[in-house]
Structure formats: structure tokens, C-alpha cells
A and B are shown apart, each in its own frame.
Chain A
Amino acid sequence: MPWEREQMAERAAQELEDGTYVNLGIGIPTLVANYIGDKDITLQSENGMLGMGPFPYEGEEDPDLINAGKQTITELDRTVYFDSATSFAMIRGGKIACAILGAMEVAENGDLANWMIPGKLVKGMGGAMDLVAGVQKVVVVMDHQNKKGDSKLLKECSLPLTGTGVVNRIITNLGVLDVVEGGLKIVETAPGVTEDQIREATEATVVN
């Protein structure tokens, strides 16, 4: 059984090391916050906050307190606020240990495409290019194939890039792969999924 969204998020949460500062992207990455458990993790929101808390109770929303997805959130005891230039100083400066992001395509050399499809509506890259250029470890959470069954793990990205050689680990519905010398290496399979099934579903070079 391939992993569902929640299970991918739960698996991605294992990537977070105790005592670190982490940035979670929009979509499945946001769900990772639900699976941090007992680990001491401080979530960064690139609009200017460390120590992001859960959604507020109904009626307690504060228009001055949102996350990078523009959702209303809450603060914690450890919370600190800062301006956007300071926020990206800590991102670009390598102070954030890990970013978990979504992707449209990943290439076997770690290239990432997740911000635009030519000819379609372009909304912008937000903070994604800064995050992948600066954080210590980039984990991508994505479906292994598109709706037509084509691999999204490619020899080369076809879409405009967000960053070159930036992805360290990929968590898909089929398993976990690392970007290594020469291609992608399978490090884990979803329950009931075989390594052969992953190889078949992957256009990128899979090394042993």
C-alpha cells in the first residue's frame, strides 16, 4: 500500500532532528507539524516568526498573526517576531536546519522545480528559492508520479528550476530516496511497495 498524504507527512516528520529550527512549506509539508511528537522543534515562518503555534480557537484570530500561507495562527512561549530581511538572513545564512517542501519535479542531480508551469498561471516563487539555497537540508514531499502515471523524479527537470542541486531527500507515496552521486538511492519503501516497483515508477537513474 503506497502512503497516503498523512502517512507521507508522518514519515517526513522523522527527518526533523531534536533541538533544531525548521521551515515547513505549504500543502503536505504543513501537515508534518502534526507528527513532531516529543521532539523539541521550533518552526520558522518566513514572513517573520520563530516558534509558530497551532491555529487559534474560533473567535481568537488575530489579523497581525499569520503564517507564510497567510493562515491565522498562534504564538508560543518561545515565539519571536522579526522583519523579512532578518527572516531571510537566518534562511540564507544556514541557521535553519531543514526545509520540507512540495515539488512538481525533482531531477537525479537534486534540481528542484516547484514554482511555475510555463503557459499556466504564474503566482511566483515566494520564499522557495531562498529556502533551497540556504537551509542545511532540503526534504521534498511529493507524489511519485503525476495523474497520467508519468514519473516526477526525472533525469532532468522540464520545468523552470527553483534551485540547482539543492534536494537532499525525497519522500513520495512509494518510499524514500536520497540524492547521491550518480542518481537517486532508495533508502526505504512504503509498506507493500517493492524496490522494483519504485524503479519502474522512476525515470531518474536509481543507483544501488
Chain B
Amino acid sequence: MQKIYDDADAALDGLLKNDMLIASGGFGLCGIPELLLAAIERSKVTGLTFASNNAGVDDFGIGILLASKQVKKMMSSYVGENAEFMRQFLENELEVEFNPQGTLAERMRAGGAGIAGFYTKTGVGTQIAEGKETKEFDGETYVLERGIKADLAIVKAWKADETGNLVFRKTARNFNVPAAMCGKTCVVEVEEIVPTGSLDPDHIHLPGVFVHRLIKGTHEKRIEKTTTRKKEDA
């Protein structure tokens, strides 16, 4: 079981194709697979569809792929923080499919869990439900949402062992777990690879069965909005 690759370019070798669907972890800039996104930019593949909660900022995260016009469509819940995104969106260069955040997460989880679709109350009676099948259960209306199966999942975790068992750190876990699950191939970047056997099996967040390729790298981990309090406020 050899999952460890030298760097992001090597880990993505043979996996990238024009017009593919990529699921990406991260929330805002927190826990995004920044090294793999940079490698996708270098690869020059185009026509990409991203299932990703957000679209990064102008010069970081998925934003770099918007700047290089490699993205055709975003499946996201919130996309406000990116001027180039807004320009392409308003000029119809970029397609956006808005998904309620929990629906997007569950679509990924379901797609990865062998569940083709599920019924949810989220979005019933709104434009999100237009054109989708609805059904009554116990007197309440639910809307059918489809699972997402991505051609590729790109994920950022904190630590991995050599078999790809993953541990995330704080709120950087977010969409990384459901994104990893829904990828036909899942490539993960971590800050540290530890020897197999050194992680407590009870403290692993995502089993390595969901992980196919693994790299260790140095992360910038940019903060989107720094908010602090002064010591004297305490």
C-alpha cells in the first residue's frame, strides 16, 4: 500500500482531465488544500467544475484557478469574498449552482456513502427546490437532493499515518471529510506524516480507506478575517 507521493504535482499525475468534477475541502480559506490547488493551476487543465463551499479569495485557494480561467462551474453555498469571481459570474463567464451549505455537505457525504439521493426539508418552497421532486413524509414536505460523486477529491488534513488514516485540526476539518468521501480518487495534503501505529486508532477522524494518495507539505494557512480582543478587555 504505497500512498505517499513526493509533492502535489506527482500526486495529481494522471488524475487531471479537462471538464472534470473536483470536490474540494475547506471553509473560506480554513483547511483548503492549497498545495493541490496550486498544482492544478500549474497543470493548465480547464473546464473544471468545483464542488466547494466557497471560492477562495482573488489570489488564494480556488481564486487562483478563477484568475487563470480554469473553472467552468462552482457548486457552492457562499461565494462573496472574491472580486474576480464576481466579475466572471456577472458577465456569465462562470456558472454557479448555489447549494444550501448542509445540503452540499450531505450531497458529498451521500455520494461517497453509496446513497444516490436523499430527502431534506432544507430549501422546500424556495427557488432551490424548483424542478426537483418533492415528497410528503409524516405530513411534511421534503425535497430530493442527489448525492455528488466527484472524479477527484482534494483534501487538507493535519496529520496522516503512512496508510492514510487522517487527523484534522480544529475547524479545518469542515468539508474535508465529506469531500474526501465523494471522490473516485482522493488526494490528501497534510502537515505531517507520522509512522503507522503512532496514531491512536480511536482518535482518527477519517479512515485511510477513503484516501488514495498523500503528500506532506508546507502550508501558508492564510487567515481571511483576523479578529482579536485586547488583553485589557479580559
Interface SS of chain A: helix, strand, loop or mixed? loop
- Is residue A87 within 8 Å, beta carbon to beta carbon, of the partner chain? yes
Whose C-beta in chain A lies nearest to the C-beta of B141?
A164
Residues A92 and B120 in contact, CB atoms below 8 Å apart = yes
Which residues of A lie under 8 Å from residue B172 when comparing CB positions? 63-64
CA distance A133 to B101 in the complex (A): 12
CA distance A20 to B36 in the complex (A): 40
- Is residue B165 within 8 Å, beta carbon to beta carbon, of the partner chain? no
The answer, among A63, A72, A84, A160, for a CB contact under 8 Å with B101, is: A84
- A residues neighboring B (CB under 8 Å): 45-49, 54-73, 75, 81-85, 87-88, 91-92, 111, 121-130, 133-134, 160-165
Of the A-B pairs whose beta carbons lie under 8 Å apart in the complex, a sample of 10, sorted by A's number, is A45-B171, A61-B228, A63-B172, A66-B28, A66-B223, A69-B225, A121-B80, A125-B128, A134-B121, A164-B125
CA distance A85 to B78 in the complex (A): 16
CA distance A82 to B121 in the complex (A): 22
How far does the Cβ of A139 sit from chain B's closest Cβ, in whole Å?
19
- Is residue B207 within 8 Å, beta carbon to beta carbon, of the partner chain? no
Interface SS of chain B: helix, strand, loop or mixed? loop
Which of A67, A70, A121 gathers most chain B CB within 10 Å? A70
Residues A129 and B178 in contact, CB atoms below 8 Å apart = no
Whose C-beta in chain B lies nearest to the C-beta of A66?
B30
The answer, among A72, A160, A163, A165, for a CB contact under 8 Å with B223, is: A72
Which residues of A lie under 8 Å from residue B77 when comparing CB positions? 124-127
The answer, among A73, A133, A160, for a CB contact under 8 Å with B121, is: A133
Which residues of B lie under 8 Å from residue A125 when comparing CB positions? 77-78, 98, 100-101, 128
Residues B125 and A161 in contact, CB atoms below 8 Å apart = yes
- Is residue B173 within 8 Å, beta carbon to beta carbon, of the partner chain? yes
CA distance A122 to B79 in the complex (A): 8
CA distance A61 to B227 in the complex (A): 8
CA distance A140 to B178 in the complex (A): 30
For window 93-152 of B, CB contacts with A under 8 Å fall at 98, 100-106, 108-109, 120-128
Which residues of A lie under 8 Å from residue B29 when comparing CB positions? 63, 70
For window 173-188 of B, CB contacts with A under 8 Å fall at 173-178
Residues B101 and A127 in contact, CB atoms below 8 Å apart = yes
Which residues of B lie under 8 Å from residue A54 when comparing CB positions? 229
5 A-B pairs closest in CB distance = A88-B102, A130-B102, A123-B80, A164-B125, A83-B177
Per-residue CB contact flags for chain B residues 159-170 toward chain A (1 = under 8 Å, else 0) read: 000000000111
Assess A124 versus B178: contact at CB under 8 Å? Given A64-B171, A87-B105.
Answer: no
- Is residue B222 within 8 Å, beta carbon to beta carbon, of the partner chain? yes
Which residues of A lie under 8 Å from residue B103 when comparing CB positions? 88, 129-130
The answer, among B120, B171, B177, for a CB contact under 8 Å with A49, is: B171
Which residues of A lie under 8 Å from residue B80 when comparing CB positions? 121, 123-124
- Beyond contacts A48-B174, A83-B173, A124-B76: 8 other A-B pairs, Cβ-Cβ < 8 A, are A64-B170, A66-B223, A72-B223, A75-B170, A92-B120, A129-B126, A160-B126, A164-B125
The answer, among A63, A84, A128, A133, for a CB contact under 8 Å with B105, is: A84
CA distance A69 to B27 in the complex (A): 10
Whose C-beta in chain A lies nearest to the C-beta of B142?
A133
- Is residue B226 within 8 Å, beta carbon to beta carbon, of the partner chain? yes
CA distance A81 to B221 in the complex (A): 18
How far does the Cβ of B4 sit from chain A's closest Cβ, in whole Å?
23
Which residues of B lie under 8 Å from residue A91 when comparing CB positions? 102
Which residues of B lie under 8 Å from residue A67 when comparing CB positions? 171
CA distance A57 to B230 in the complex (A): 6
Residues B229 and A56 in contact, CB atoms below 8 Å apart = yes
